[in-house]
Structure 1
Amino acid sequence: MVGIPGRSEGCHTCRARKKGCDLQRPYCGQCIKGNFICRGYQREVTFIRHDQSYLGKADEATIRQSSARWLSNNSIVRREAAQPNQVFHPLPEELSRTAFEVKSFSLFWDLYLPKARFLPSDSRSSTAAGWAKVVQDLSPEHDVLRSALLAVSVSRIGRSNEDSSMIGKGMELYGKALFQVNRALRDPNRAKGDELLAACRLLSFYEQFNVSCPTELSDRLSQARNWQHHVQGSGKLIEFRGPQKHSSQHGHKMFVETRMSGVILAITNRKATFLSEPDWSRVPWETIPKTIRDELMDIMVLLPHICEEFDQIKLCQDTSQAVQRGQILIGKCWKLDDCLQKWYRKFIFQLSGHFVATEFLPIIQAVNTASDELSPEIFYHQGLEVLHSVVLYWTACTVLYSTMRIMFQWFPGLHFGGSFSVQPARTDPQKYTLYIMRSVKYFLQPEAGLHGAQNISFPLGVALNYLAAANETPTEEYSNLVQSIHEATKTPAGSWIGGFLTGLQRNSVPKTVQTVADGYFGTRARARTWYGANSLQQSSRIQE
């Protein structure tokens, strides 16, 4: 059944409100200024029946032509509209949204999520599949989430297509989404909704993906800082909701994804957060089994405390107190090391049935030897999410063991503690950075999408920081890997990584080091400050 539209050319929303429409496309200015959802301009078809037997050829042509005319005004879907046999069959829940929104969301998920073979068949083990399903389920009914998703979608599509008008529209939509989020946060009831937490997560994506290595230092600092603020805001929202709120399906999926970002930021800032409290590693899983990734994050959430305590010891003026606190911290480090090794053995055991004998040997050797022959390709064959889990493990090892090595040099009188007469070969951070760097290419290939690039960004930053801080002579393989990383970050999915990591590194150190010039020596100065390597100069004072 086809309805006959009126003579007005205004959008549906302005017509319903009996207001003058400025006819701006794709959304009218009146709706944007008034904070209304613009329902678009298409009016050749009021509604159709989904049963194709009721549609004659003339009706199909009318629908196809009217859809193509509307879509021709939107660059992101012009290609689809040009297809000769395309007919629109909107689903009932999509009738209240514009075709622009629907297509924007579809294209964004195509850009963000890896292809099917990159996600495990058990979607519960994929944080990406989990939280994306929450967004897709909740966005049709919640304007605040739909606005955040639209802002991220339009801006990212614009950057992928180098369309300045789309990028500008994305910025405008981002401002609108921020307004809606702030308004929702003032309502205690809405502030506890899963949709608001999902919206905050998406807003952090906007800042992360819109870094394009700008030349101005202030721009790099600002966008990385805005990402940090969004992640901190999401953390405060989670804390306000309480751990019990995250034991339900939607709340749990959003918590798992947001916790990972919170842990990454806490390690970057070297400051412990509420996430390290026991209840936050227990209550959200009271009715939902933990995945192997969840168990790893339970360990990684303790790393910021190690970093923070180390920084406090570094500033301690009392020698005896510094030594005492150092001994306690070394004990905590060994406990964390034990947790990491147990996790790795469990992880390998779960995958053992998928490996052939020749693959299994180097995986086992990598645990207790200095061997660096392990190839990430072994894990990649099991899926990108599997590789991501072991890359996070290597990242945790890099942060933990680099801190321990500095402690042993700073306090040589502490020796190695526990049952070790010498420092185990597995605690060499350099081999883990090598594993991480070998993995980069898998996350930046086109099939991995933005999600792959996002997953490797933090491990890559940790690895490069360590290499700069250690100031060791690079091998030929290291040099080749660094060059390949520079080339990979020029790809569409990874184009934002360089600028984002630069801004993040500068924001994580004191302002006196932030402004050190670019280049290797500036990067090295900031990396040594972050890792605490500069504190080695104080070791003689401590021993006296």
Structure 2
Amino acid sequence: MVGVPGRSKGCHTCRRRRKGCDLQRPECAQCKRLGLKCDGYERKTTFVHHGAVSVFQLTIAASSTEARKTVKSGKKRNTTVDKVSTIALPEKLAKSAYECSYLALFFEMYQPGSTASSVSDYAGAGGLSLTSWLVGVQCRQIYHGSPLLQKSVMAICLSTLGQRMQNRQMTEEGLKAYTVALRGMSVALTRNNGKLPPDEAMLAATRCLSLYEVFFGTDASNIPGQARAWNRHRFGEMALLSARDPSMHKDGWAHDLLADGRMSCTIAGIVTRKDTMFSREEWKTVPWSGTNRKTAMDLLLDIFVDIPKLLVDLDSLTISPSTTKSKEAEAQSSLLERCEDMLEELEFWLERHAPTKWREVSPRRGRTGYEACHYPCSDNPTADDVAEAHIMCLFWAMQIKVRKVAVFTNFLGSEDESLPPEELEELVPYAQAILQTAPIFLTPGAGIAGCHLSVFPLTCAVRLFMTMSGTGATQVGTYIRELLSNRGRETGLPVWEFVKSLGILSLPKTDPILDGTRLAGCVY
């Protein structure tokens, strides 16, 4: 070999045959004459991973002829042995190698068996709804082009692997990466100072930081710091998006970031009872005026993004009623009309865009016998099965929310001092449908993403029972805790602590449902 004294310079084929080689390139004449494939002259290398840190070695395995070693014996015969030499990779290359390894492990745990090519009307790229934006994160050019995104992603990867492997050091490294990413985000925002629209990598980094809070955030001194940190990241993402034009999200990864991000940002708006930019017409239309066409999930989210505005208007009626009864009645009538329009839109979506096998078992107006319905769940669900279950649970959660607003708005004009629990009875079938379907999100096939997707519909269901004077709330709360804590730990990551930090699983000492005041506070 060139540059290595005492070693053959011939091609791999001739050395394997122990024949002389004329060293012609790219193929030697001897191989050509005999009709053999010439394997060339380059030294073959392989990467071997040792351990879970940046300890990679370059292993150069030479063939027996080129790594010949003379071993003297009684007859002085030559015996050949394979000789392996190892050298450490440069630190930068080693770091890149183990990061790629961790990324692959995390994405397989997050959405098992899903690939970027498994696209359906419900699943979107990557198998599960709300996760197609992760495909862009896996792009080598995007990932390595943004140190901020690298730290944000590695914070989740290291923390996830550390928790699953019970490796405290790795978990601590994840926390360090999260802290560095937070500082990096602050520096990036300060330097930009609104001069340029934030790029997609910064949007993705913000989303990764919010995901970290869902799974690994902590609450100190019973203060809901975890939920507050999550909210800050979600509204931070909305602020970044508002600095961009809707036309910047027509195609590619930018479109996936917007399409997938609308739901979590809207949930943040529901929790804090603030309207979001996504209810504006331009954010519903312009991003889909390019090559992308709306999926069933996109069409459902077009309705979902209007719910925060309903809650804001209901708050204005209960907290700051109009000075005149006529204006108050007008505002009340307008809110009821909008609720009715949204319910009609939901029914239209169910008939035209819902998964076929779920359509007939979904509760509807006037339908009875919902307790006996068997929802099409599987013990070993595919990514598409989970996606279809998720889209239906979101649909049922929306039914609960819109109908609760309508019930409370109607009650504002009543002379009763408190809202009778039976007024909410028509919402129970939707909550039961969610509770019966929820286990599909906590199966091994759903992965970590399933745990995340289950939070919103489950909390909507349990909150309904709590607002009905606590009817069945204790049993439902215990059931949900078992799902999100114990089973979540077995199949993905537990999210029970995050749900508790939202503060939605306990009513205030003065129950607003029972005393007839501040009704809007119980709509979540």
Q: What TM-score do the two structures reach when normalised by structure 1?
A: 0.70
Match of 1:398 in 2: 400
The sequence identity of aligned pairs, in percent, is 22
Displacement of 1:284 after TM fit? 0.6
Q: Following TM superposition, by how much is the alpha carbon of 1:536 offset from its aligned partner in structure 2, in angstroms? A: 2.1
What is residue 72 of structure 1 aligned with on the other side?
51
Equivalent position of 2:275 in the other structure: 272
For residue 3 of structure 1, report the CA deviation from its aligned partner: 10
Name 2:462's counterpart in structure 1. Answer: 464
Q: 2:210·2:234 contact (CA, 8 Å) conserved in 1?
A: yes
Q: Which has the larger radius of gyration?
A: 2
CA distance in 2, matches of 1:175, 1:77: 27
Q: Equivalent residue of 1:533, what SS? A: helix
Partner of 1:44: none
CA positional deviation for 1:266? 0.8
Which SS does the other structure have where 1:290 is aligned? Answer: coil
Indicate the residue corresponding to 2:263 in structure 1.
260
Q: CA deviation at 1:59?
A: 6.3
The residue number in structure 2 matching 1:375 is 374
1:217 aligns with 2:222: yes
Within 2, Cα distance between the matches of 1:154 and 1:340? 40
What CA deviation, in whole Å up to 9, does each residue of 1:282-340 have, x standing for no partner? 11111121111011111011111111111110023546143332111111111111111
- Counterpart-to-counterpart distance in 2, 1:2 and 1:495: 53
> Is 1:303 matched with 2:303?
no
Closer, same or farther: CA 226–486 of 1 in aligned 2, 3 Å: closer
Match of 1:504 among 480, 489, 502: 502
In structure 1, C-alpha distance between the alignment counterparts of 2:397 and 2:96, rounded to whole Å: 43
Among 126, 140, 147, which residue is 1:143 paired with? 147
Structure 1 pair 291/443, CA: closer, same or farther in 2 (3 Å)?
Answer: same
Match of 2:175 in 1: 171
Q: Alpha carbons of 1:151 and 1:503: their partners in 2 closer, same or farther (altered >3 Å)?
A: same
Question: After alignment, is 366-375 or 323-332 more displaced?
Answer: 366-375
After superposition, the Cα gap between the structure-2 partners of 1:249 and 1:98, relative to the gap in structure 1 and judged at 3 Å, is: closer
Which amino acid in the other structure matches residue 185 of structure 2?
V
Cα distance in 2, alignment partners of residues 495 and 147 from structure 1: 20
1:396-448 C-alpha deviation (Å, 9 max, x unpaired): 111111222222233249xxxxxxxxxxx998221111111112211011221
Q: Report the counterpart of residue 237 of structure 2 in structure 1.
A: 234
1:334 aligns with 340
d(CA) in 1 for partners of 2:412, 2:188: 50
Where do 1:108-187 residues align within 5 Å? Answer: 108-116=106-114, 121-122=119-120, 124=124, 126-137=128-139, 138-185=142-189, 186-187=191-192
The Cα shift of 1:371 comes to: 3.9
Per-residue deviation, 1:392? 0.6
Query: Which residue in the other structure is 1:19 paired with?
Result: none
Q: Is the 8 A contact 1:200 1:230 kept in 2?
A: yes
Q: CA RMSD in A?
A: 3.8
TM-score (normalised: structure 2): 0.73
What letter corresponds to residue 236 of structure 2 in structure 1?
G
Q: CA deviation at 1:524?
A: 2.9
Q: How many residues align?
A: 434
What SS does the corresponding residue of 1:165 show, helix, strand or coil? helix
User: Equivalent of 2:198, from 192, 195, 211?
Assistant: 192
Does residue 1:525 correspond to 2:508, yes or no?
A: yes
* Greater share of helix: 1
How far, CA to CA, are the matches of 2:377 and 2:106 in structure 1?
30
In structure 1, distance between residues paired with 2:207 and 2:2: 40
SS in 2 for 1:385: helix
